[in-house]
Structure 1
Amino acid sequence: MALLGVCLAIAAAGPATAPVFVPSERFTLAWTHSIEKVRWEEDYAVVPGAPPTLKALSARIRGSAAGMEPPADAVLRNGWYEYTPTTWSPDGLRLTRSAYTADYDWCTAAGCVPLGSLLPSDGDITLLTPCVQTAAPLR
């Protein structure tokens, strides 16, 4: 049986270090801009295929600030600028994580946790890629 999800890896760790598999076909990455203090949320889906791909579904910005302006087609609803991203990376995301700012939040239907609870940060780049984990057959 194969499970869809994402693999998280520290970029500097190199290929010898096994990534952490997180089973999730839909998730939200959320963060607060370190200077402007504006909340940003992006919803993603892991799309089955060989190999699986990552698709951005929607995004929200809680207000606007310098360098964080919402796209022209964003709609303001309840204080959030909502829009559908027009560009996305099917191969995955490079997440910059710093010891000097709050970590990303990883959100699913079960709730939100800091990304560090899934994979501690080395203060640099974390790679998030769509992947499949094959479960061993039950005996």
Structure 2
Amino acid sequence: MAAAFAQRGGSGLSVCLASAGVVKTLSIAAFTLAWTHSIEKTDWQEDWRVTPQALELVQARVKGSGAGMEPPPEARLIDGWFRWQPKRAALPEVVLGNSGAAGEWRLCSDGKCRTLSDIFGHPVGTDVTIMRACNP
């Protein structure tokens, strides 16, 4: 699938999404990845920044706590969300799996959220989606 990422989208920063052999390029420099936890049915969001080489996780937040989604000790409860800034290196790619038990990943930018199925134009289902920076 690495060859599929050779496609570039316009000028500036972009994120590429690949699933089932299809690649979509979104010309965005920052976005929020949102989903609902499959067991707790609680919202989770992560803010990401696209760099020329990688994706940087800027902030994470969760609307509660529970099985497998406990916020770290440094998280602060603000407006009903536990918020924190993860301390991790930028990632060359992020692999998004889906059990099918809690809806879809949503990618949000400029105040609008779209499911991966909407972005790809067909149901993604439980197919893995790979997300990475794809900049000129």
Q: Distance in 2 between matches of 1:110 and 1:61?
A: 18
Separation (CA, whole Å) in 2 of partners of 1:66 and 1:98: 16
The two structures, once aligned, show a CA RMSD in angstroms of: 1.7
Checking the alignment, whether the CA contact within 8 Å between 1:97 and 1:121 is kept in structure 2 is no
Which of the two has higher C-alpha Rg? 1
**TM-score, normalised with respect to structure 2:** 0.83
Structure 1 residues without counterparts, runs of 5 or longer: 134-139
For this pair of structures, how many residues does the alignment match? 125
Task: Give, in whole Å, the separation in 1 of the partners of 2:115 and 2:89.
Answer: 23
Cα distance in 2 for residues equivalent to 1:115 and 1:18: 12
Match of 2:12 among 3, 16, 19: 3
Q: Which amino acid aligns with 2:74?
A: D
Cα displacement (A) at 1:89: 4.4
**What is the distance in 2 between the residues matched to 1:106 and 1:69?**
22
2:29 maps to 1:25: yes
Q: Which of the residues 110, 133, 136 maps onto 1:130? A: 133
Q: Please say if 1:79 is aligned against 2:80.
A: yes
Identity of aligned residues (%): 38
Q: Could you list the runs of 5+ residues in structure 2 that have no partner in the other structure?
A: 1-9
8 Å contact from structure 1 (residues 98, 124) kept in 2? no
| Inter-partner Cα distance in structure 2 for 1:21 and 1:2 | 11
Which whole-Å CA distance do the structure 1 matches of 2:14 and 2:71 have between them? 29
With normalisation by structure 1, the TM-score equals: 0.81
Kept after mapping to 2: 8 A contact 1:92/1:128:
yes
CA deviations over 1:102-137 (Å, ceiling 9, x no partner): 00111001411112111241513110011125xxxx
Question: Counterpart in 2 of 1:106?
Answer: 107
Alpha-carbon displacement from aligned partner over 1:66-112 (angstroms, at most 9, x marks no partner): 21100110001111000001125420100002444300111001411
